Amino acid sequence: MPRRAYRSWTGGRAVTGRRESVASRRADGPLAVVAMGGHAFMQKGERGTIQEHERNADGVAAVLMALVEREYRLIITHGNGPQVGSLLTQQELAGDEVQPMPLDVLVAMTEGSLGYILQQALLNRLRHHDPPRRVVATVTQVVVDPADPAFDDPTKPIGPFLQRDAAEAKVRDLGWEIREERERGWRRVVPSPLPLEILQHQMIADAAREGHIVIAGGGGGIPVMQEADGRFVGVEGVVDKDLTAAVLASTVGASLLIILTAVPNVYRNFGTAEEEPLRALTLEELERLADEDHFPPGSMGPKVEAVIRFLREGGARALVTDARSLPDALEGRAGTHVVGRI
């Protein structure tokens, strides 16, 4: 039985009846890549129910309509940290009953499920939009370097906290790397290698240029490496979704990279009495602030690094803000705006 009561459809136009209109009246604005975190689907204090995910996705879709109304061609990436964490907890609790899945498969599972949830939320928001837009979610593989230093120094914590005995058993039986977090227990850590290439980038670019909204690179994409014979194999690790968004934006020739985060601006001296929001600056100014360690590695650091990488590769401009401020930021009234080399 479906989880919602069945309701018959008695009016409106069939989806197939709009196909000609989609082809002939596509969006022709600039191409933008939007990166948002996995917490966009699951807010602080929530349990992570499907109803909460759908409600939050609808809120995200409502915000993204600000870009749709301005006829941007859109590629959307998203995080998946809370969702992969939930799957790992399920595996830990049901370990005697079900076979656990490797991390690359869990990333693929969440990329599919969150892509579906956001795709449906966008479609529902777009159903009366003229010209019509379609949405597609892709399971995306991201190539990483087997020689990346991250594989020798895993630092990304994932999954539930464990007691010491249970954690040491994982090290012994499964070869896990673990780290202790004071007063919380022991946790698995995995490598977070840099993204080099998005395997599906051409299909993603083609769909976006046709005016379709593309959801890709969820959770940073599935990390894979290429073996000597040319085969691709999955990697037990996670890729930072903001860095994947930067690589994707550069590869497809996007003119704008938007990173949606929890705060309305990038800040100098964040969290101190001297905190100062940054509103407009050049790539060179942002690089200087990054060199002065203004952006902590665990929070704003990866987002600033993503902006720098995108602009160094020839991107025109980047915007960092929170979802609520996005409509004003698109008009230049909010957010942190960074322009490339002048």
Residue 27 is predicted with a pLDDT of 66
Residue 269 is predicted with a pLDDT of 84
Nearest to 335 by CA among 267, 271, 285: 267
Residue 12 is predicted with a pLDDT of 42
Please state the φ and ψ torsions of residue 189, each to the nearest 5 degrees: -125, 145
Round the average pLDDT of the chain to a whole number and report it: 90
Nearest to 124 by CA among 212, 65, 211: 65
Q: Are strands 317-322 and 336-339 parallel, antiparallel or unpaired?
A: antiparallel
- Report d(CA 258, CA 64) in Å as an integer: 11
pTM of the model: 0.90
Q: How far, rounded to the nearest angstrom, does the alpha carbon of residue 292 sit from its chain's CA centroid?
A: 27
Q: What DSSP designation does 33 have? A: E
- Report d(CA 35, CA 71) in Å as an integer: 18
User: pLDDT tier at 163 (50, 70, 90 boundaries)?
Assistant: very high
- Report d(CA 302, CA 300) in Å as an integer: 6
Nearest to 160 by CA among 193, 196, 185: 185
Under 8 Å between Cβ of 118 and 219: no
Tens of pLDDT, residues 233-266: 999 999 999 999 999 999 999 999 999 999 999 9
Residue 10 is predicted with a pLDDT of 38
CATH topology for 25-141+201-339?
Carbamate kinase (3.40.1160)
User: pLDDT tier at 132 (50, 70, 90 boundaries)?
Assistant: confident
Residue 296 is predicted with a pLDDT of 81
Tens of pLDDT, residues 50-71: 999 999 999 999 999 999 999 9
Which one has a higher pLDDT value, 25 or 169? 169
Please state the φ and ψ torsions of residue 262, each to the nearest 5 degrees: -85, -10
Instruction: Tokens for 190, please give them.
Output: 């995995």
- Report d(CA 174, CA 161) in Å as an integer: 16
Residue boundaries of the structural domains of the chain: 25-141+201-339
Nearest to 73 by CA among 252, 241, 197: 252
Tens of pLDDT, residues 75-103: 999 999 999 999 999 998 998 888 999 99
